[in-house]
Structure 1
Amino acid sequence: MGLVCSTAQLACLCGSTACSFCCSQCPSCRNSTSTVIMYALMLMLGTIAACITLAPGLQESLKKVPFCTNSTNYIPNSFTIDCQSAVGYLAVYRICFIMSIFFFLMSIIMLRVKSTKDPRAGIQNGFWAFKYLLLIGGMIGAFFIPEGSFGPTWMYFGMIGGFMFILIQIYLINMFAHFWAASWVQKYQETESKGRYAALLGCTLLNYVLSFTGIVLLYVYFTKVDDCSLNKFFISFNLILCLIISAISILPKVQERQPHSGLLQSSVLSLYIVYLTWSGISNSPDRECNPGLLGIIAGNDVTAQNQMAFDKESIIELVIWFSSILYNCLRIALKFDTKKDQDNGAGDQSLIDNEVEGRNGDAEDGSAKVWDNEEDGVVYNWSFFHFMFALATLYVMMTLTNWYKPNSSSLETLNSNAASMWVKIISSWVCTGLYTWPLIAPIIFTNRDFS
């Protein structure tokens, strides 16, 4: 229903007639839900636009963009710009620059908004045509930004923002794993269904088999018998961490205080840690120990290993990114339902009807199609929501460009960056800490309430 209402809001970009028609056809929905979906749609459309710039057929056309054709007029001799091999990456930088600036500005504007009675609520929930025109105009204008130090400087912003989003992503994956494990364990305990037990056991085994397979493949392709000691350390250390969190999750004292904790949750986190390990070492600048996906397929073809490409690693990262964004949006959309049921009772239909009637007056009969459910208080923190989307944009930028370092004088560093390697490896260690601490904290600090 929220998607239908958001489609109606999107129709408002085309004019009042289209808006009135769509609003008259769609069912009633909450303002918070439709707004969240609209911003998620905006982020997705911007991501698609950035992906399009990496299409092989567009590279020749993109070499005619202003920041390439005018580069010799603006760039000092100390900088180099490789529009022949990396123009798509540099275009992604500019598109994501505008999107992240937009969300950062929205985050600042929405600071300390408590309800829709605040005058700034109209900016959050409306003016969609202006927002889209602002983004499109900004993206076009960004192609006129001379390269100079823009690429290297924005890369560091992207790396910091990408790291911060990985931390948020880790938190969301932790929450999802906990919710999944708690839900399935509770239902199994209530029903003692053999099918539920088989599903629980099967998913756990599948995650561990995939994790173990990933570790083996990392040893095979990213290490050598007499070399690659750093890669060996990363893989071995993270393997030990996976074993530790699995053991901690089934400790008797942990089970006593958190009976829903178990191997399903730790298996999800182990799989994610293995993924972060692979993603990290695949950004290593040491080409002897990092063949990369294209290198594994193409053998020793250095050109194929270092060409600008939207490879399988980027696709996997984007799938995880999209899943995190979708999960967070669903949490926000369902949050009001849970709160309302707790406050009013799920069966009090009269209260719900009173809330729906006559809030916004969008329809001709005076009833609201997209009705305001945040007059008494916002369902989610608007400022942090936009801040998270800004970080998500920076993460997308770094993912699509394989954490590319602009103005590099060597073709061999096109798809590798030591800083990004450490960002992802450290993120895997942080992931372990964020999962383990809530399990052991009640045991260490017995006098505190962690409920």
Structure 2
Amino acid sequence: MGAALGLCSAAQLACCCGSAACSLCCSACPSCRNSTSSRIMYALMLLVTTVAACITLSPGLQDVLKKVPFCKNGSGSSLASGLVLDCEKAVGYLAVYRICFILTCFFVLMSMIMIGVKSSRDPRSGIQNGFWGLKYLLVVGGVVGSFFIPEGTFGSVWMYFGMIGGFMFIIIQLILIVDFAHSWAEAWVGNYEETESKGWYYGLIGVTLLNYCISITGIVLLFVFFTKSDDCDLNKFFLSINLIFCVMVSAVSILPAVQEKMPRSGLLQSSVVTIYVTYLTWSAVANSKEECNPGMWGIFGVKSSSHSNIDIIGLFIWMCCVLYSSLRTASKSSKITMSDNILAKDTGADKDKDLKSLDNKDSKNNKGNDSDGGESGRKVWDNEEETVAYNWSFFHIMFALATLYVMMTLTNWYKPNASSLETFTVNAGSMWIKAISSWLCLALYSWTLLAPILLRDREFGN
């Protein structure tokens, strides 16, 4: 027991409620930048809250959740004159709305506080990088208080905020995915050019073929299960137009003019974009009318009610993008994908110099105290004394949008329905959001291919 408690020093525990940067309370953790540590902690907060929201959707908790204030009558509470909320079906979704509402407000508040911060010397840096225990308590207290919000029109109004915010995060997600595709291809092509190893070459070909095979299989299955010979024209349009666009951007990626400006551009990036567009197309047609919609997992033969469907793939992609934005540092190639405005930058700070400076300060402040064996135990070093590595305010806005996106994903983008027969219905607006997102993804990727050709006077990364 003593050994377990010894893993956390007093200084590390103090970061939970103090303004010091958190070292994750683990002596085994490698040292990292202050900017990276803070982003990881905010990502952890977002992931923990998402898990809590998922738990509220568990069927086993329905009886417990029916006792919360906005559904205190058990069988249903009044929404408006003549309208009754079916708590047994809706209480889980309404709980997700409230949990995400509080976290969104938290990130928006943090964004407003951090407006104009230029370096960690700003007094507000302590709020950004520390007080983690108080932040979690604030969120938990807010979540508890949110269950006392009367229903009224809260669900319907907050849904529109969720749709707009979710769509905006999808755009950010598209930028991150395109950046990932370019970074992945550049890394593997670079390794092949440096080592001339056949393994990298065959890996490039294998992954590219696999991505295209999955995409083609997905499109065929969508045509089979989500279209009918005499109906479902809108679904046919989405599937056909996206298939044509994917073929076009794949062809553009290997044009001689593109290869001349971007020699490491190729079909691997196109295959990653194609498989993502296939997923977005699936998400779009999965929100079509009932006659053309066997359900989110209908192509796998899984029969379930629309209320129990959760887009697991969407949550996985969302989680990967959140972690990618938290851990990834912008590279030269990020300029062309515009992700350099989202990812952290290398500030040029000297790790050894900063750690030595911090250790000297600690030794002066703790004269005669050798309880830590002469080592400060610091795991986080400040790389933002001269300039911030990322826009703190925009970072919190991005996480607020990510919260709204996960809220809509967990509720499957359904629309609260005022009828007494069904609490949530398929939302036609979400179908168009996903369809437009797929076109934006293709347009963004096409721009990264054509920008170096069209903007000859501008310097892009290799």
TM-score, normalization by structure 1? 0.87
* 375-384 vs 242-251, which moves further: 375-384
Distance 2:10 2:40 in 1: 9
CA distance in 1, matches of 2:60, 2:81: 30
- CA–CA separation in structure 1 for the residues paired with 2:10 and 2:53: 23
Alpha-carbon shift at residue 32 of structure 1 (Å): 2.0
Report if aligned partners of 2:253, 2:266 keep a CA contact under 8 Å in 1: yes
Q: How many angstroms does 1:339 deviate by?
A: 4.4
State the match for 2:359 in structure 1: 357
Tell me the distance in 1 between the aligned counterparts of 2:252 and 2:82.
53
RMSD: 3.2
User: 1:113-149, CA deviations, whole angstroms, 9 ceiling, x for partnerless residues?
Assistant: 0111111111111222211111111101111111111
1:401 aligned onto 2:411: yes
State which drifts further: 172-181 or 30-39: 30-39
The aligned residue for residue 191 of structure 2 is 187
- Structure 1 window deviating more from structure 2 (65-74 vs 218-227): it is 65-74
Structure 1 position 68 matched with structure 2 position 67: no
Which residue of structure 2 lines up, in the alignment, with residue 318 of structure 1? 315
Shift in alpha-carbon separation, 1:264–1:26, aligned structure 2, 3 A: closer
**Cα drift, residue 367 of structure 1:** 3.5
Give the conservation status (yes or no) of the 8 Å contact 2:9–2:25.
no
Shift of 1:33: 2.2
Cα distance in structure 2, aligned partners of 1:21 and 1:223: 51
- Per-residue CA deviations over 1:13-46 (Å, capped at 9, x if unaligned) read 489xxx9995777664432222111111111110
Aligned to 2:338: none
CA contact (8 A) 2:166 2:401 kept: yes
Q: 2:126 aligns with which of 103, 122, 127?
A: 122
From the superposition, tell whether residues 173 and 82 of structure 1 become closer, same or farther in structure 2 (CA, over 3 Å). same
Contact 1:356 1:368 in 2 (8 A): no
Q: Which amino acid in structure 2 is aligned with residue 67 of structure 1?
A: F
- Partner deviation per Cα, 1:154-195 (whole Å, 9 max, x = no partner): 000000000001000000000000000111112212222111
Once the two structures are overlaid, the 10-residue window that deviates more, 430-439 or 412-421, is 412-421
Partner of residue 244 from structure 2, selected from 231, 240, 265 = 240
SS of the residue 1:377 aligns to: coil
TM-score with structure 2 setting the length: 0.85
CA deviation string 1:376-417 (max 9, x = no partner): 111111111111110110011000001121134275683511
SS at match of 1:374: coil
Q: Which residue of 2 aligns with 1:139?
A: 143
Deviation, 1:57, is 0.4
Which of 172, 177, 195 is the aligned partner of 1:173? Answer: 177
Residue 210 (structure 1) aligns with: 214
Would the alpha carbon gap of residues 84 and 10 (structure 1) be closer, same or farther in structure 2, given more than 3 Å must change?
farther
Matches within 5 A, 1:32-431: 32-69=35-72, 75-77=79-81, 79-284=83-288, 286-293=289-296, 295=298, 304-306=304-306, 308-311=307-310, 314-332=311-329, 338-340=346-348, 351=353, 353-358=355-360, 365=374, 367=376, 369=378, 370-409=380-419, 414=424, 416-431=426-441
Conserved in 2, the CA contact under 8 Å of 1:291 and 1:305?
no
Which stretch of the first structure deviates more once superposed, 182-191 or 159-168? Answer: 182-191
| Native 8 Å contact 2:417 2:425 kept in 1 | no
Q: Which amino acid aligns with 2:137?
A: L
Distance 2:423 2:236 in 1: 21
- Does the 8 Å CA contact 2:23/2:37 hold for their aligned counterparts? no
Separation (CA, whole Å) in 2 of partners of 1:20 and 1:165: 29
* Distance (whole Å) between structure 2 residues aligned to residue 333 and residue 128 of structure 1: 26
Offset, 1:332: 4.5
Q: 1-side partners of 2:24 and 2:46: how far apart?
A: 26
Question: Residue by residue, what CA displacement relative to the aligned partner does 1:228-279 show, whole Å, maximum 9, x if unpaired?
Answer: 0000000000000100110000000000111011000000000000000001
**Alignment gaps of 5+ in structure 2:** 1-6, 332-342
Change beyond 3 A, Cα 1:6–1:147: farther
3-state SS of 1:118 partner = coil
Partner of 2:70, secondary structure, is helix
Work out whether residues 6 and 34 of structure 1, in 8 Å CA contact, stay in contact via their aligned partners in 2. Answer: no
**Partners of 1:268 and 1:205 in 2: CA distance:** 10
Distance 1:132 1:8, change over 3 A: farther
Q: Report percent identity of matched pairs.
A: 61
How far 1:5 sits from its partner (Å)?
A: 9.4
**Number of residue pairs matched by the alignment:** 433
Cα distance between partner residues in 1 of 2:243 and 2:101: 37
User: What is the CA deviation profile of residues 287-307 of structure 1, one whole-angstrom value per residue up to 9, with x for unaligned ones?
Assistant: 0001113555678x7xx433x
For residues 255 and 395 of structure 2, the distance between their equivalents in structure 1, rounded to whole angstroms, comes to 36
Structure 2 counterpart of 1:305, one-letter code: S
CA distance in 1 between counterparts of 2:424 and 2:301 reads 17
